[in-house]
Amino acid sequence: MKATLIQIDIRQADAATNRETAEYAMLDAPKSDLYVLPEMWTTGFVTRPQGIAEADGLSLEWMTRMARRLDAAVCGSIATEENGRYYNRLYFVTPDSTSPYFYDKRHLFTYSGEHLSYTAGDKRVIVHWRGIRFLLQVCYDLRFPCFARNDDDYDAIIYVASWPESRIRVWHTLLCARAIENQCYVLGVNRTGSDDLCTYNGGTEAYDAYGRCIARCHDNHSQTATVNIDMEVLCAFRQKFPVLNDRDSILLLKDKKD
């Protein structure tokens, strides 16, 4: 499977312009089975979503159209309003789905006050697409390895983010760590540009299960990177070196603590 990572400079609270930017990038990229956009790619990272978060579904409709046009899945998070509540919702849209898969960000970024306006998700979401199982995660989730622990139930993790330049070394380190410890592919998509609080320099990249960086976008540029997810190679590695068979049980660890 080919996956294309879309690193763009997001214009704050301007969904129409950001859709145009994303569409141009996707159409200009190599043909892929999956296209991944950053966190809150339609608005930039907003902690006060009133009047900004989408309730009309326009960007989700755009994702659906692009999925059908490209015969591929399209993934990215959108600040979403639903029944009076706000969610940082990561959509995974396929060309043949009548309703999209989605994951609501579990770990809201309390440091910025995201938890004051948004409702946290309470479910781990794994999507099956063209023979590969994807775990969906958003930005701050990257810091919490127990939540992402591979229970032999996925093959790749998608992290979409608005990760600032000041902490970008942590981003690179943890993406690599999640790939190694979970013996999986990791796709990390970050943005560029700036907003009122932060500067973002990208660092979009993909890792294989050995912890090798196999694709990366240049810093401070709107760019795409396409990676091949090779299940034959992954399965052979897991069979030869079955690390996941020796993983700790989260429930077991909790029982020992109690």
Whose tokens are 């060309």? That residue is 95
Among 105, 114, 205, 217, the one annotated catalytic:
105
- DSSP conformation letters of 188-238: EE--EEE-SS-EEE---EEE-TTS-EEEEPPTTS-EEEEEE--HHHHHHHH
Report the Cα 145 to chain-centroid distance in Å. 15
Nearest to 172 by CA among 188, 150, 195: 188
Nearest to 189 by CA among 15, 29, 17: 29
Annotated catalytic residue 105: yes
Annotated catalytic residue 205: no
Among 54, 75, 114, 139, the one annotated catalytic:
139
Cα separation, 129 vs 145, in Å, equals 23
DSSP single-letter state for residue 3: E
Lookup: tokens for 37: 């956009």
Catalytic positions, please? 39, 105, 139
